Amino acid sequence: MTPPPLAPFPPSRPHRIYVAAPLPLLHDAREAAAFLTKAGLTVTSSWHALADDPTPEKEHVMARAEQSRLANTCLSEIDDSDALLLLVGPRSDRCGNVGEAFFAAGRGLHVFVLQHRADAVLPTILLTSDLFHKPTLIDLVVAMLSYVPLRTVRA
Amino acid sequence: MTPFLSFQRRVYIAAPRGLFREARALAAALEAQGFAIASTWHAQEYGVDPKAGLYATLDELEADATARLDEVRSSHALVLLVTPRTWRLDSVFEAFFAHGNNKPVYVLRTGSDAIPPTTLLWAKGFEHPHGQEELLLALGQGKTPT
* Lowest-confidence segment of A93-97, A133-137, B101-105 by average pLDDT: A93-97
Confidence of residue B6 (pLDDT cuts 50, 70, 90): very low
The backbone torsions φ and ψ at residue A82, rounded to the nearest 5 degrees and listed phi first, read -95, -25
Are A135 and A114 in contact by the 8 Å Cβ rule? The answer is yes
Whether the per-residue pLDDT at B72 is higher than 90: the answer is: yes
The backbone torsions φ and ψ at residue B108, rounded to the nearest 5 degrees and listed phi first, read -110, 120
In total, chain B counts a number of residues equal to: 146
B40 CB-near residues (< 8 Å, 6+ apart): B71
- pLDDT at position B46, please? 59
Are A124 and B89 in contact by the 8 Å Cβ rule? The answer is yes
ipTM topping 0.90: no
Whether the per-residue pLDDT at B2 is higher than 50: the answer is: no
Confidence of residue A7 (pLDDT cuts 50, 70, 90): low
Average pLDDT for chain B: 84
Query: What residues of A are in contact with residue B94 (Cβ under 8 Å)?
Result: 102, 126
Nearest residue on chain A to B120, judged by CA atoms? Answer: A71
Q: β-pairing, B126-127 with B10-14?
A: unpaired
Confidence of residue B55 (pLDDT cuts 50, 70, 90): low
Are B80 and B92 in contact by the 8 Å Cβ rule? The answer is yes
Average pLDDT over residues A96-110: 95
- pLDDT at position B5, please? 45
Nearest residue on chain A to B90, judged by CA atoms? Answer: A124
Query: What residues of B are in contact with residue A20 (Cβ under 8 Å)?
Result: none
For residue A51, give the amino acid letter.
Answer: A
- pLDDT at position A5, please? 64
**Beta-carbon contacts below 8 Å between A and B:** 96
d(CA A21, CA A38): 19
d(CA A139, CA B38): 39
- pLDDT at position B142, please? 63
